[in-house]
Chains A and B, each alone.
Chain A
Amino acid sequence: MSFVPGQPVTAVVQRIEIQKLRQGNNLILGFSIGGGIDQDPGQNPFSEDKTDKGIYVTRITPGGPADVAGLMMGDKIMQVNGWDMTMVTHDKARKRLTKKNEDVVRLLVTRKSLEEAVKQSMGGFPRP
């Protein structure tokens, strides 16, 4: 999932829709994020490329809305409700996910297994 500067980033993504859960006064999603352009990318345990400053899912509360929706630990979040998450600060990412007037967040996430699945399925067909 490394990027070449100046070229568009391409990735195989999965669409995940999470319904926010109301707990008291808060709307929670049930996972934790890490990363951001103002953070230290070398300490990210989930990224392949240690210069990748994207937003990653670091923890999922079991049984929470994210878990139910199929989000997995280690996923890199590419978009939230259409907003780009590959070049944002950590705080901006948090704000995008926790808007009070939204009940549903639609994420585009990518993970390694998706790429491999696509490669496997494409590898069977010889290219014309």
Chain B
Amino acid sequence: MDTESTYSGYSYYSGRSRGSHRHGERSRDRHKSRSKDSRSEKSVTINTPPAEPLLGDSAVRGEQVQDDNWGETTTAVTGTSEHSLSQEDIVRITKDLEDSVGLDCRRYFTRTLAVILGLLVFLTPLAFLVLPHLLWPEKLQSCGTACEGLFISVAFKLLILLLAVWALFFRPARAGLPRVFVFRALLAVLVLLFVVSYWLFYGVRILDSQDENYQGIVQYAVSLVDALLFIHYLAIVLLELRQLQPCFSVCVTRSTDGETRHYNLGQLSIQRAALAIIEHYYCDFPVHNPALLSASKSRAAKHLAGLKVYNVDGEFPAAPAEGPGNNAAAGLAHSQSRAMIAAAARRRDTSHNELYYEEAEHERRVRKRKARLVVAVEEAFTHIKRMQEEEQKKAPGDVMDPREAAQAIFPSMARALQKYLRTTKQQHCHSMESIQQHLAFCITNNMTPKAFLESYLTPGPTLQYSRDHWLARQWTLISEASVTSGLKDGSIFLLKCVDFSLVVTSKKIPYIQMSEEYIDPKSHKFVLRLQSETSV
């Protein structure tokens, strides 16, 4: 099946964006990024590259690293393992690609419309000025001083309008929104109507009657440009200024691990608010790490697996005998679930105990590994020293540039770092290449070992990680209200991506009634509190 021909550049990005935490896909994406031409998203062959080291993908690295990793990377790929591409993924990929093709056409369509409108707007005043000279030059009054002054005014106003439109509208598109941007559409319609009405007037009163008063025509063109500048002012107010004043406080929660942030937004439509929230998400929320969620999932599975309901008698329980079918089946399910809940409540559950000790043990392990890591890194950093200028001229012996220096000291800390990353389940966020790059960067900028380690000890925002972790440039907005309607107090919507969803609730910032009270600076007077006791 020839699928490559129907893809535009957009689908390349959507394919890349779905590089999720799944190991096989990500390694494939990495290969793709290097080859830059393989479009294997649709292929169903699932071959995990054999013996690929966890932290890196090239055999040039230090020996210890590869040896250490080797035992971990032989994965057995079955249909249900975490590292496989299941049927749902394939369906999802096809759906994504179909969607992306449709979106692309719409973007080009709006772009061409905008360009046509812009050309119309700019050429109209010039046409107004030039047409009389072309059509009835002999009848035209000559242009006096005032008229020529107006030429300069038209020229500069057009220049200002050009710069202003370039500043406001000619910016790289940030996103593709599901519905049309209402204000922009309104403004485009307004401009179109405006220009059309000016043309109508011009055509009827000036072209048809072949007016000789050229100054009047020039003033007409100037009034058109003035009005266009005012429409541009209206565009600034509607598109940029109106949402600056904060009106709503939105609470954004990630559904998988409950990370919550609060933001202040102005009066926006739901889709624009969603866009602002996603941009904040990429900058503020710590990266989504699905490896941290496996513990709670296994606990939930244990709860479910603990109790099973058996129907001993084989007949339906005492439901009012209205006949078989839905009623009795529902009654059966209802009584079963109630029985399970009752039994679970009665059961002496010690899983909280296990959780407590497990977490304490994990804490201890993490701290131990962290201590080893810090010591190893500090020791590694003492091995290299920045060479001063004078020394550089004198001793050209074993001089290294930052990259080589990083490669030289990396092996001594590699094992400690890798063990720490594995304990905190971050090993898939950092490749060996990225760690070495970061090390070279720190060495170049005279950073201390603590500064180097900071990016590994705390999970940073999603944008800091490699492109593989820009999970889902494809977001879905799920909302009960129309997405072009404005944000209201209590509006709730969801932003779904492949691995998780963001739940957004908004609350209105209340109206504040403030009154004043004047205090005279001379009114601050004090007395001592006396309580003397005198003996007589």
Alpha-carbon separation in the docked complex, A97 to B533 (Å): 14
Contact B533 A28 (CB under 8 A): no
Contact A32 B534 (CB under 8 A): yes
Selecting from B30-38, B348-356, B524-532, the interface stretch reads: B524-532
Contact A33 B533 (CB under 8 A): yes
Contact A38 B533 (CB under 8 A): no
Contact B532 A39 (CB under 8 A): yes
Distance in Å: Cβ of A23 to nearest Cβ of chain B: 12
Contact A59 B535 (CB under 8 A): yes
- The bracket for how many chain A residues form the interface is 10 to 19
Contact of A58 among B529, B530, B533 (CB under 8 A): B533
Chain B residue numbers with a CB within 8 Å of A28 are: 535-536
Chain B residue numbers with a CB within 8 Å of A44 are: 531
Interface centre among B529, B533, B535, B536 (most CB of A within 10 A): B536
Contact A38 B530 (CB under 8 A): yes
Contact A39 B535 (CB under 8 A): no
Contact of B533 among A29, A34, A40, A98 (CB under 8 A): A34
Alpha-carbon separation in the docked complex, A58 to B531 (Å): 11
* Known contacts A40-B529, A43-B529: A31-B536 contact under CB 8 Å: yes
Alpha-carbon separation in the docked complex, A90 to B529 (Å): 13
Residue A94 interfacial (CB < 8 Å):
yes
Chain B residue numbers with a CB within 8 Å of A32 are: 533-536
Looking across the interface, which residue of chain B has its beta carbon closest to that of A95?
A: B536
Contact A33 B531 (CB under 8 A): no
Chain B residue numbers with a CB within 8 Å of A29 are: 536
Contact of B530 among A39, A59, A94, A98 (CB under 8 A): A39
- The bracket for how many chain B residues form the interface is under 10
Contact of A94 among B529, B531, B536 (CB under 8 A): B536
Looking across the interface, which residue of chain A has its beta carbon closest to that of B532?
A: A90
Alpha-carbon separation in the docked complex, A28 to B534 (Å): 12
Distance in Å: Cβ of A17 to nearest Cβ of chain B: 15
Which residues in window 486-536 of B have CB below 8 A to A? 529-536
Alpha-carbon separation in the docked complex, A45 to B532 (Å): 13
Alpha-carbon separation in the docked complex, A58 to B533 (Å): 8
Chain B residue numbers with a CB within 8 Å of A40 are: 529-531
Contact of B535 among A31, A38, A43, A90 (CB under 8 A): A31
Chain A residue numbers with a CB within 8 Å of B532 are: 34, 39, 90
Contacts between chains A and B (CB distance < 8 A), count: 37
Contact A97 B536 (CB under 8 A): yes
Contact A94 B533 (CB under 8 A): no
Interface 0/1 of B461-479, CB less than 8 Å to A? 0000000000000000000
Interface 0/1 of A20-56, CB less than 8 Å to B? 0000000011011110001110011000000000000
Looking across the interface, which residue of chain B has its beta carbon closest to that of A31?
A: B536
Interface centre among A31, A44, A90, A97 (most CB of B within 10 A): A90
Chain A residue numbers with a CB within 8 Å of B529 are: 40, 43
Contact B531 A43 (CB under 8 A): yes
Chain A residue numbers with a CB within 8 Å of B535 are: 28, 31-33, 59
Chain B residue numbers with a CB within 8 Å of A94 are: 534, 536
Alpha-carbon separation in the docked complex, A34 to B530 (Å): 10
Contact B534 A90 (CB under 8 A): yes
Alpha-carbon separation in the docked complex, A38 to B533 (Å): 13
Alpha-carbon separation in the docked complex, A98 to B536 (Å): 6
Which residues in window 186-210 of B have CB below 8 A to A? none
Alpha-carbon separation in the docked complex, A8 to B343 (Å): 78
Which residues in window 69-123 of A have CB below 8 A to B? 90, 94, 97-98
Chain B residue numbers with a CB within 8 Å of A39 are: 530-532
Chain A residue numbers with a CB within 8 Å of B531 are: 34, 39-40, 43-44
Distance in Å: Cβ of B431 to nearest Cβ of chain A: 73
Alpha-carbon separation in the docked complex, A32 to B533 (Å): 6
Contact of B534 among A33, A38, A43 (CB under 8 A): A33
Alpha-carbon separation in the docked complex, A99 to B268 (Å): 86
Which residues in window 89-128 of B have CB below 8 A to A? none
Looking across the interface, which residue of chain B has its beta carbon closest to that of A97?
A: B536
Alpha-carbon separation in the docked complex, A53 to B532 (Å): 13
Chain B residue numbers with a CB within 8 Å of A59 are: 533, 535
Distance in Å: Cβ of B314 to nearest Cβ of chain A: 82
Chain A residue numbers with a CB within 8 Å of B533 are: 32-34, 58-59
Alpha-carbon separation in the docked complex, A40 to B535 (Å): 18
Alpha-carbon separation in the docked complex, A31 to B535 (Å): 6
Looking across the interface, which residue of chain B has its beta carbon closest to that of A91?
A: B534
Looking across the interface, which residue of chain A has its beta carbon closest to that of B535?
A: A32
Alpha-carbon separation in the docked complex, A67 to B533 (Å): 18
Looking across the interface, which residue of chain B has its beta carbon closest to that of A44?
A: B531
Distance in Å: Cβ of A71 to nearest Cβ of chain B: 11
Chain B residue numbers with a CB within 8 Å of A38 are: 530
Chain B residue numbers with a CB within 8 Å of A33 are: 533-536
Distance in Å: Cβ of A35 to nearest Cβ of chain B: 8
Which residues in window 270-314 of B have CB below 8 A to A? none
Chain B residue numbers with a CB within 8 Å of A43 are: 529, 531
Alpha-carbon separation in the docked complex, A29 to B534 (Å): 12
Alpha-carbon separation in the docked complex, A97 to B534 (Å): 11
Interface on B for A, CB 8 Å cutoff? Answer: 529-536
Chosen A-B contacts, 17 in total, with CB atoms closer than 8 Å, are A28-B535, A28-B536, A31-B536, A32-B533, A32-B534, A32-B536, A33-B533, A33-B535, A34-B531, A38-B530, A40-B529, A43-B531, A58-B533, A59-B533, A59-B535, A90-B534, A97-B536
Interface on A for B, CB 8 Å cutoff? Answer: 28-29, 31-34, 38-40, 43-44, 58-59, 90, 94, 97-98
Task: Report the 5 A-B pairs with minimum CB-CB distance, sorted nearest first.
Answer: A32-B535, A40-B529, A97-B536, A43-B531, A34-B533
- Beyond the given pairs A40-B529, A40-B530, A59-B533, 5 more chain A to chain B contacts, judged by CB atoms under 8 angstroms and listed by A's residue number, are A28-B536, A32-B534, A34-B533, A39-B532, A98-B536
